[in-house]
Amino acid sequence: MRISKVKIKGFRSFGPDEVEIAFKEKLAAFIGLNSAGKTSALEALRKLFGSSLTEREISRQDFHIGKDENFEEISERELSIEVRIDFSEEEQEAVPHFFSNMVVDDLLGDLYIRIRLNATWKKSKIVPQGEIEVRTNFIITPEGEQEQEGSKRPFPNHYRSLIQILYVPAIRRPAEQLKYASGSIMHRVLRKIKSSDEFKQEFDEKIGEINDSFKGLPEFNTVQTSITEFWQKFHKDERYRDATLGFGGSDFDSILKKLEISFNPTGTHKSFGIDELGEGYRSMFYLTLVCSLLDVEEKLAETEDSETIGTSRPLLTILAIEEPENHIAPQLLGRVIKILKTISEKENSQVFLSSHTSAIVKRLEPESIFHFRITEKYETEVNVILLPEKTDESYKYVKEAVHNYPEIYFARLVVIGEGDSEEVIFNRLMSVMKVDFDDNIITFAPLGHRFVNHIWKLLSTLHIPYITLLDLDIERGGGGWGRVKYAIQQLIKVGVVKETILVTTDGILSDDELEDMHTWSLTDKDSIKNLNSWVDMLKPYNVFYSNPLDLDFLMLTHYPEFYKKAIPKGGGPRIPDKVKEPDEFSEKVEAAVQATLKSEKATGATYSDEEREQLMIWYNYHFLGRGKPATHIQVLSSMSDKEIEDNLPPVFSDIFNRISLMVN
């Protein structure tokens, strides 16, 4: 059995409109920035299935207060937390416990149960904190149907043993869980130990022998007599006259309360206690205790009679973990996630975790991730990670892209570029343009132009704004008009109105004209001017181009002298003298043009003489024969902010101005 759906309404940051979270996998991750509602979602499960009254207690603070509401003016408020639990065919032993409360959508549909907690807070003149009424019920009406009178049945307290939640908080105190105290993990583990009366009697006798041996020490009587004499001088109460020194607790349960765990070998010739471990190891040991409990329950259940299942162990254990990355080195997080996945694959276990770090997210399948954000109303919104269909070629690309750049999930704004050069250059330009990406939670993601509509759709679903910088690639295969056509088509796919984006001075571009756009001419100044007008038209849609070729060529065009200086001693391209060696010069230029434009048929006719005869030769030297990022790092680190700003490519001014508008 597993929780397939959670619905939350009016609970903490969840507003008056019900938020539904549907789970396809048994491991689910809640991600998002701080205070987005991730912990509240985990806490909602604990309010419903907590083992103690303290865990299930609803307080006034649990009721949602809107952004513009004044609490003093509110007289009544409601909240609800509902889960849907589904059963697989292999889990027949669980069905009898819930059969009378099960529902089904149609004749051949799957059986499931609905459990809902409803709470109402009312202002009271007598009780300062107000009066709270809490009810937990089975809902026996199928989802989507109108609930009738009598569709609610009480959820009995004895059913709580069937579903347990193990909540691992962000601040972990494993020492508390090692105590043999009610509710602690160690108590849950050790109470599985079954001991016979004969064992307990033998155990008590041996403890008695130890006490007698201790009392037989000569020095013991001296200590015992001294304590007793002074104790009797302080008072005359006959009830407490004698003070006896010995090992407290001679019964089995008392001894269990004194169990401790130690770690060795330590290299210091002594064992370490739990409090002597570092924060990271303590955090991991907390998870160890949780995993051990689940393992012990499973192993002991193998010897149980099937009729006792549900009474001696839960039918479903929910493991809810806040920030598993806390105090743990990123290199070890892979192990943690692997263990959590293994737990979730167990028949009677399900795992929910919250995180706000990319180190965790990149180790999870995107399908298991739920993105939390706070809206302008200060209410939690939950979105799924939208991927293409698995049968599409784009599925693998987009999935790998978000795996490699999970920072996009936590960004206020994403800047999408073609590759590593863009990332290096944007990082340097931050100081020049006085826009700090870290301070504004801006993420750069070199996701290229392939399947860009899926990246745009993903970010739009998560309500994360984005800016895209693409290469125009004039005279390269598919470049120029082809790049503009591609961007327009992708924008239309993500919902841009076709009649708005295809407006020209001659009217609205037809579908056939758009389909033929990549064949449009680029042989004269008017055609280049027309292309640039379409490039400018895409800027309001946050699509920008490195014009005319790519970002590497753009930087070389604006800072040629700095790039020409960035060569080792005696290095640099050999450029024949145009006058003295005309044939060699022509061959050099032709080879450089073809290599730069990636075609043996390329002529570079749309480029200026300087661009063909000088810059393309240097482009080949710097960016085709050496590493692009390394070259940009070398050049940009040698330039002052003023030197960069004095000849900044206009596209960067446009982009950074747009960034400033979008994050402010």
Whether 490 and 595 share a structural domain: yes
pLDDT at 318: 94
Q: Is 61 exposed, middle or buried (0-12, 13-18, 19+ CB in 10 A)?
A: exposed
Average pLDDT over residues 344-364: 90
Whether 343 and 428 share a structural domain: no
For the chain, give the mean pLDDT: 87
DSSP letter string over 148-206? PTT-EEE--GGGGGGEEEEEE-SS--HHHHTS--TTSHHHHHHTT----HHHHHHHHHH
Residue owning tokens 């604990």:
46
Position 179 in a domain:
no
> CA 589 to CA 622: how far, in whole Å?
15
Whether 469 and 344 share a structural domain: no
Position 447 in a domain:
yes
Position 308 in a domain:
no
Residue that is last in its domain, among 361, 377, 394: 361
pLDDT at 627: 77
pLDDT at 182: 58
Whether 345 and 471 share a structural domain: no
Most confident of 142-156, 440-454, 537-551: 537-551
Is residue 308 over pLDDT 50?
A: no
Whether 416 and 505 share a structural domain: yes
pLDDT at 20: 97
Position 74 in a domain:
yes
Position 15 in a domain:
yes
Whether 352 and 493 share a structural domain: no
Is residue 613 over pLDDT 90?
A: yes
pLDDT at 319: 92
Position 69 in a domain:
yes
Residue that is last in its domain, among 323, 346, 361: 361
pLDDT at 310: 45
| Structure-token pair, residue 250 | 């001679």
pTM of the model: 0.82
pLDDT digits (tens, 9 = 90+) for 567-591: 988 889 999 999 999 999 999 999 9
Domain containing 14 equals: 2-172+315-361
Position 153 in a domain:
yes
> CA 486 to CA 474: how far, in whole Å?
14
> CA–CA distance from 90 to each of 93, 94, 266 (Å)?
8, 9, 46
Q: Is 514 exposed, middle or buried (0-12, 13-18, 19+ CB in 10 A)?
A: middle
Is residue 94 over pLDDT 70?
A: no
Whether 26 and 161 share a structural domain: yes
Whether 497 and 576 share a structural domain: yes
Residue 543: count other Cβ atoms within 10 Å of its Cβ: 23
| Structure-token pair, residue 212 | 């007698």
Average pLDDT over residues 535-554: 96
Domain CATH code at residue 104: 3.40.50
What residues does 21 pair with on adjacent strands? 6
Which of 555, 541, 534, 540 has its CA nearest to residue 615?
Answer: 555
Q: Tell whether omega for the bond before 265 is within 30 degrees of 0, i.e. cis.
A: yes
3-class DSSP state of 136: strand
The residue type of 356 is: H
pLDDT digits (tens, 9 = 90+) for 97-145: 888 899 988 766 788 999 999 999 999 888 888 999 999 999 999 998 9
Q: Tell whether omega for the bond before 406 is within 30 degrees of 0, i.e. cis.
A: no
3-class DSSP state of 78: strand
Average pLDDT over residues 178-185: 61
- Residue 95 makes CB contacts below 8 A (sequence gap 6+) with 87, 102, 111
pLDDT at 307: 46
Indicate the pLDDT class of residue 252, thresholds 50, 70 and 90. Answer: low
Average pLDDT over residues 354-366: 89
Whether 405 and 537 share a structural domain: yes
Whether 478 and 520 share a structural domain: yes
Is residue 298 over pLDDT 80?
A: no
Is residue 181 over pLDDT 70?
A: no
Total domains in the fold of the chain:
2
Average pLDDT over residues 76-95: 84
pLDDT at 497: 93
Whether 519 and 647 share a structural domain: yes
Q: Is 56 exposed, middle or buried (0-12, 13-18, 19+ CB in 10 A)?
A: middle
Whether 483 and 628 share a structural domain: yes
Position 299 in a domain:
no
Residue 174: count other Cβ atoms within 10 Å of its Cβ: 21
- Residue 18 makes CB contacts below 8 A (sequence gap 6+) with 7, 8, 9, 80
User: Which one has a higher pLDDT value, 220 or 18?
Assistant: 18
